[in-house]
Structure 1
Amino acid sequence: MVKKAENIIVGISIGDLNGIGSEVILKTFEDTRMLELCTPVIFANVKILSFIKKTLQLNANLHGIDKMEQIVPGKINVLNVWRE
């Protein structure tokens, strides 16, 4: 098993807001075993992903960040790339 200190940071774009990318990403990282393998950084807006998470009734724990220096291993980091 990969130690958390050795986890790679993986950047993921949600793609089209009307597509299934957000759902696929959230469902993938809802399984916390995935967070043992890598540290995800999703390029999106944390409020929009939170709305989608609530709509799908998922338990994924999102961590909103504004810059890469705020990444937290073991969390689903969401880099706010746009404002509402």
Structure 2
Amino acid sequence: MKNICKEDLLRKIQELEFAAVDLNLYLDTHPCNQMALRDYNCITQELMNMKRLYEMNFGPLSNFGTAFNQYPFSWVNDPWPWETE
């Protein structure tokens, strides 16, 4: 991504999270569906990549041990990921 837009990236993460949850619920009742499992794994990988990209450019999405932070600790100083600037 050449010019990364924070809002666009957050929207993509939300879309991928929705799809992952939806497929997870489907797989709860259809555990042998290989295509759904393949789709779930692809979406999960893309979601992890988008979260990593977001955190590299805009800071952590969560403060519960899922992402590293830089010194000085700035989680409380930056806008929350869901806040618009």
TM-score (norm 2): 0.30
Considering fraction of residues, name the structure with more strand. Answer: 1
Considering fraction of residues, name the structure with more helix. Answer: 2
Q: Which has the higher contact order (CA 8 A, sep 6+)?
A: 1
